[in-house]
Structure 1
C-alpha cells in the first residue's frame, strides 16, 4: 500500500474510506493532497 502524509485508507470488507489525515495542517487540500489523491484512489481501485 502506498503511504501518504495527508491521506489514509480504512478498509472494511468491500468498503474503503479515504480519510484526510493531516490535523496539524487542518486537513488542507494543498499540493501534497492533490499529488497523493490519485495514487490512493488507484490503490483502492486495484484492491
Structure 2
C-alpha cells in the first residue's frame, strides 16, 4: 500500500504529464490554425458538407 506522500507524488507526476500533453496538443492546434487560412463559406457551399 502506498503512503500518502507517494500517492501525492504520483498524482502530481501524472498531472504534470497530462498538462504537458495538453500544452503540446494546444501548440499543435495553434500551429495548424496558423498554416490553414480560414475562409468564410458561402451558403451554397454548405450543401457539399452534408
Q: TM-score normalised to the size of structure 2?
A: 0.32
Structure with more strand by fraction: 1
Structure (1 or 2) with the larger CA radius of gyration: 2
